[in-house]
Amino acid sequence: MNGLLAAAVLSLMLPIRMETGLILVRPFEFLIALGMLGWPLIAARRGVRVPTGLLLLLPYLTWHVLSATVGGPRNTVREALQVFVVTMFAFLVAQEAPRLDMKRFSLRLLLGIAAIALGTIVWHIAHGYWAGWKRVPDPRLSFVFLPVVLAGLILFAEAERRRRLHFVWVALFPVLLMSGERKALVIYLILTALLFARGRLALIVPALAAAFVGLLLLSTVVENPYLQRQIRTLVDPGGTGNYQYVLATGRYLPGDTPSDVQRAFALHLSSQMFAEHPLSGVGTNQYEAMVRETYPNAPKDLQLAIHGEFQRILTENGLVGFSLYVLIWAAAWARLRDTLRRALARGRLTGAQARVLPLLLFIPLALFVGTEASGTRAFIGVIIISLLPELVSGAFAQARTPMPLRPGLPARPKPAFQLAGGAS
């Protein structure tokens, strides 16, 4: 089951999809169906777990589907099917949390994500793209999550292995830079500051400032126009986001990009929609429908859905949905901190790890769901957040479980995490 869950997560980064006319089907749905078919055999031996993290997801997911009824039966069925699939994923993760070998699971994810990233790079180079490896939408996410998984392994690696992983970490920077995936580069720099500062705010701020200055200097020496533009938009956005000009002329002002203009346009319209329907919102998926109806002649880029779950939920699901969504994040943060506090008191991790781990997990996932369009991957992001306390508790429990050497030999204690960074 551990391997199946890793494969399910990785499948969301593959460019394999099928439009059915009602929902978008990926290998993810088939893998979750396979897991649910095999689960009763496991449940007969292990029982059923309904942890707090799973329960906290249900009110928001229910409201999401109820809000979809505004768009009619077809819209309701589509969202209900999607919520059903991701709920099954959450259920399987919740069942496996006490037994999930996080080290092995992380290694599987790292190798799988690295393979997807490598395949993406090879495809782009074969087609003449030596930079900007994001022309295939789904695999570009491998660049976003590769530094997250690698940073987690570095945080808990043994000293000797950690030194080797640091070389890999440094080598990852030019890869992310060449990819042109700005979100990945931002996450990488934030995680670099966290690892360097070991979670201390007094060091994180100067480290991020140094990274900003470094990017600014790098933008003056990079010769590739595409990379130069991507770096400069990080350190000096410069664009106006003038959607009025685009609506009037169909053209973009110098310095503006379709992404900048779409986000400014979405912020303007979503603010109006929220002001009119603050409590319940306009309904799931109704922002996009209302934009197409109100601006039928607008460029396709402006007719896209809101890219950012926090903004989308506030607009489409109102304060009710937003409160339920934020509750998941706030409860997960509090429960995870409590779990880490107990582990720190028992000497199972260092103070530096207790400070870094929540930030290492929450910041990248918040950036991801806060800048991506709604869909299965956004749901998976909040599911992982909600179940993080259970997953971390399970990882510590696994570290205490005696493991046999091989059949016929006595068991020996499995040591706790090989912790990095020494004492705090």
Cα 283 to Cα 63, 67, 272, distances in angstroms:
10, 5, 14
What's the whole-number mean pLDDT along residues 127-143?
A: 87
Alpha carbons 126 and 391: distance in angstroms, whole number: 40
Q: Which domain holds residue 283?
A: 243-302
> What residue has token string 């996410």?
141
Which of the given ranges, 79-93, 97-111, 121-135, has the highest pLDDT on average?
79-93
> Structurally, how many domains does the chain consist of?
1
Q: What is the pLDDT of residue 228?
A: 66
Confidence of residue 416 (pLDDT cuts 50, 70, 90): very low
Alpha carbons 409 and 190: distance in angstroms, whole number: 46
SS (H, E, C) 81-100: HHHHHHHHHHHHHHHHHHHC
Cα 354 to Cα 148, 203, 381, distances in angstroms:
16, 16, 21
Asked, for residue 295, whether it belongs to a domain, the answer is yes
Higher per-residue confidence, 272 vs 419:
272
Confidence of residue 417 (pLDDT cuts 50, 70, 90): very low
Q: With residue 412 as reference, give the H or E element that holds it.
A: strand 411-412
Confidence of residue 145 (pLDDT cuts 50, 70, 90): very high
Asked, for residue 261, whether it belongs to a domain, the answer is yes
Q: What is the pLDDT of residue 157?
A: 82
What's the whole-number mean pLDDT along residues 161-170?
A: 89
Q: What is the pLDDT of residue 398?
A: 67
Asked, for residue 263, whether it belongs to a domain, the answer is yes
Asked, for residue 77, whether it belongs to a domain, the answer is no
Asked, for residue 341, whether it belongs to a domain, the answer is no
Asked, for residue 257, whether it belongs to a domain, the answer is yes
What's the whole-number mean pLDDT along residues 69-82?
A: 93
Nearest to 325 by CA among 281, 264, 361: 281
Asked, for residue 248, whether it belongs to a domain, the answer is yes
Asked, for residue 174, whether it belongs to a domain, the answer is no
Name the phi and psi angles at 51, rounded to 5. -75, 170
| pLDDT surpasses 60 at 101 | yes
Q: Side chain identity at 27, as an amino acid letter? A: P
Q: With residue 25 as reference, give the H or E element that holds it.
A: strand 24-25
Q: What is the pLDDT of residue 337?
A: 92
| pLDDT surpasses 90 at 143 | yes
pTM of the model: 0.86
Structure confidence by residue, pLDDT tens digits, 201-239: 667 777 777 777 776 666 666 666 666 666 666 666 656
Average pLDDT value for the chain: 83
